[in-house]
């Protein structure tokens, strides 16, 4: 019954649901209460991607093909979020570093109890230039 409801809801409109399934994968990744890393969280979306591909290619029934395609799009969103998080990773996020820097204040945001400063780093001691952030 659920598969019939799934199939009937997509007749002629499946393309419009593509961003929804992709977004659900991204939302699931960022709604987890921990940072998904390690082999398990690379294995699960890739398994869903493989299962979706298998259902999409091997099933003559249109209902199962749409479920397979939905799994592929969902896991693609999850993997995209994981890739973007990995790409934004910085060595400064892994451990605290104490150093002397010369910087210029580019922007200041005043808050209720504090201020946020965005700095442009000109010189940083004890930090390899490869790990030095732009801001």
Q: What is the pLDDT of residues 70-117, one digit of tens each?
A: 888 888 898 888 888 878 776 665 666 677 888 898 988 888 888 888
Whether 15 and 65 map to the same domain: the answer is yes
Beta-bridged to residue 118, according to DSSP, are 107
Whether 14 and 67 map to the same domain: the answer is yes
pLDDT band of 132, cuts 50, 70, 90: low
Q: Provide the residue count of the chain.
A: 135
Number of domains in the chain: 2
Q: CA nearest 7: which of 49, 55, 86, 65?
A: 65
Angstrom distance (rounded) from CA 20 to CA 83: 19
Q: What is the pLDDT of residues 3-62, one digit of tens each?
A: 565 556 666 777 788 899 899 999 998 898 877 776 666 677 777 777 777 777 776 777
Structural domain boundaries enclosing 7: 2-89
């Amino acid at each position: 019954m659920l598969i019939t409801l799934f199939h009937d809801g997509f007749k002629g409109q499946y393309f419009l649901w593509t961003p929804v399934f992709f977004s659900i994968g991204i939302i699931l990744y960022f709604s987890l209460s921990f940072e998904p890393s390690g082999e398990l969280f690379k294995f699960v979306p890739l398994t869903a991607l493989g299962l979706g591909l298998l259902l999409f290619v091997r099933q003559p029934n249109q209902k199962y093909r749409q479920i397979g395609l939905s799994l592929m799009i969902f896991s693609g969103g999850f993997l995209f979020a994981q890739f973007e998080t990995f790409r934004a990773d910085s060595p400064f996020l892994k451990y605290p570093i104490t150093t002397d820097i010369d910087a210029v204040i580019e922007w200041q945001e005043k808050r209720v109890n504090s201020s946020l400063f965005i700095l442009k780093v000109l010189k940083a001691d004890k930090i390899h230039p490869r790990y030095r952030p732009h801001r």
